[in-house]
Structure 1
């Protein structure tokens, strides 16, 4: 294949930034966890993402099992480290994994005993990766932090130096939220609310909770979005690209995109939408539009590289750092363009519904030279939900992954089986994850061959 480095100007071509699978009628063609999230929000996240349902008063073993589950730990050691656990215990594998990671340090688990607030905090602090910080604490810092919990460090309180350091660090880092200070009792039972909040904070410290750069109402959200866009580069992911490039050449798909799961938002699916585009000014104006409409949402900008066929009759393509092409055997090109998905988690379901009304009025082009739209509005905007939405259409996503990168291509649902079979034939080493989701009707019409 010949890589071109032309700077020749070519005529403008209306190419969408989203990347699509075979269509019917026209043939082939950083981590910012929300410190203010409630225990209920954490509990819902645990249910949605880990199928963890905590209720009532927990045992210590229950909490150990939950920590192991969210961190996906596996014990390598075979020797039993616990004097009160047998290998057939429901807590055995989780306890061994946490012991190996230094999260559990004692030879007795006492897994059936009720979980206390103090025990839960100790386990969570180590699971969050904060123990080295804790052990730097001198007595003055310990005393100041524990005073917030109404614990007098100078009086007999039953805490060792190490335990005091861990508890103090939990206070200062926010692992224990300030709302818990007044009611914290070391030996009191840790209920599902207390445990869910600690587990959510562990996920936050480990970069596994909701990942976003701000909210629509933040004063600095426009700067943050611009900075995120400015640090984005084209994604290569050569193994994934090779599979879908072959699919493009075979007309199995008409386009695809490459993404990096480290930027995935992990938002509540019932409250979130993903919106795709290629122009950052459009994103900034879209956020401003939502603010003006009273729509409040968390915001995450997810890097995306789109790939599609660039026909040779369109002229020699102009390349840049954000737009590269490779010529293929038939003289056409595969183009790789820097784009983005902007994901929103709305404050409530009503605002998620309202989003489409706002787009139809201010961000969807219906005629040439139409006035009253935000910058670079498309004929067929792309936004979608992973949960059912009234007046949206169902299509399919066909996705393969390697490491933290993934490649995906959208298709009509009835075409998904052909896409999956074709990808499996190209490279049977990849498992294709094909699933349905809900997309706006204008984009669905685009898949059906309607370019307006």
Structure 2
């Protein structure tokens, strides 16, 4: 958008902030891990995700049933009600009681004998995982022949198993709840920490709560998926929330904000992730190609956003399109709403994350009007940021406002005025959740926040 340089020059600026190859049910539609090396890579990815997002670790090489129940309840965010199930071997003082009670109330465990301190059996973990993932009804559709065929893949016979148990194991196989790389670890064995973590991640994946991404930079079809994601997004409309942040614009509390929809959030591991904002699809396509040419492989999610800012009347009559709308306000200026996007990248390593900035500064940052050798529609001040600290990035603040729905608004600012901005938002509406937290941005963008030209 050509007007960007005008509204970026203010000291307070609004821009927006703000899934795994081994997951058979991931957003990328990837296949299960087939080799030891891929399994190890997937296991490390699951471990890091669970640690960062939920604080979950399995230590000492042994997983008890109580530990697994505790972590299933955590990832599903299940809390026990006031009802107190009378477990035969677990009293209310146990650290596992509340988790077991919550899972019992939701039908995820069905016995009043918990065996919380015993090693978690792999087959028992699958029974729990099938119910936790919401696959029970599917399991109970299985006829005998279909059940037998699935069980053979994990070395099981239905002989000696009751019908529902056999059906649930079969469903775990057919749905990909258990990755193929763990098939040999099921029959007659205790669950390893790797298997327990894989099942937790698969539960989240099936319920749509793991990572969300359209593909990898290295995928042959990534460009088409990128175009589809961009072309099917529209200007975001959130009237109640916009009333609040539009008032903030009119009062000069901020000079702009972004609207986003949390249903598109990538949910990536932040220590390996960066967010890159822009408004031009051709730029996004060429950026993916640039990263590929530099050997940088990353998951990619396109998060739609709408950027809102004050359009001054002296800039001339605004031209409106499907992707750019304006509304005139009392002083004769306008509030402009522009369709943009954030590309969220999750890199394979911290080293690749660090490699991103030199590539952008060389090939996607404009330094003069007649500069060549840049990808299409490169900005003078490219915008990209991390939620974790990085060398050569500068800390600023994101001021984020959420209401009752799935939309949120946010405005980036320098650190010093952030407290006043947050306090101002609180005065404009009730029932809002206001968060101010640090992010780390590239220096050119930081310079813009300071009113500098480069």
TM-score scaled by structure 2? 0.90
Structure 1: where are the runs of 5+ without partners? 1-11, 25-29
2:386 maps to what in 1? 385
Cα drift, residue 109 of structure 1: 2.0
CA distance in 2, matches of 1:322, 1:124: 44
Cα drift, residue 182 of structure 1: 2.3
Tell me the alpha carbon deviations over residues 255-310 of structure 1, each in whole angstroms, 9 at most, x when there is no partner: 11011111111112121110000011110110011111111110000010110001
Cα drift, residue 397 of structure 1: 0.3
Question: Is 1:436 aligned to residue 418 of structure 2?
Answer: no
RMSD: 2.1
CA distance in 2, matches of 1:82, 1:432: 42
* Equivalent residue in structure 1 for 2:58, among 54, 78, 86: 54
2:312 maps to what in 1? 311
CA distance in 2, matches of 1:321, 1:92: 55
Written as runs of structure 1 = structure 2, the 5 A alignment for 1:71-86 is 71-76=76-81, 78-80=83-85, 82-86=87-91
Match of 2:320, SS?
Answer: coil
Cα drift, residue 39 of structure 1: 2.0
Question: Is 1:169 aligned to residue 158 of structure 2?
Answer: no
CA distance in 2, matches of 1:52, 1:17: 46
CA distance in 1, matches of 2:6, 2:86: 55
Match of 1:276, SS?
Answer: strand
CA distance in 1, matches of 2:255, 2:110: 55
Cα drift, residue 321 of structure 1: 2.4
1:38 maps to what in 2? 42
Matched-pair contact (CA < 8 Å) for 1:128–1:206: yes
CA distance in 2, matches of 1:305, 1:16: 17
Match of 1:115, SS?
Answer: coil
2:279 maps to what in 1? 278
Cα drift, residue 91 of structure 1: 2.2
Structure 2: where are the runs of 5+ without partners? 14-18, 20-25, 34-40
* Equivalent residue in structure 1 for 2:422, among 420, 423, 428: 420
Match of 2:408, SS?
Answer: strand
Match of 1:182, SS?
Answer: helix
Written as runs of structure 1 = structure 2, the 5 A alignment for 1:178-257 is 178-185=180-187, 187-257=188-258
TM-score scaled by structure 1? 0.91
Matched-pair contact (CA < 8 Å) for 2:205–2:211: yes
Match of 1:432, SS?
Answer: strand
CA distance in 2, matches of 1:428, 1:149: 55
1:4 maps to what in 2? none
Point out the more displaced range, 309-318 or 215-224: 309-318
In structure 2, the CA distance between the partners of 1:352 and 1:193, relative to structure 1 (3 Å rule), is same
The aligned length equals 432
Cα drift, residue 428 of structure 1: 5.0
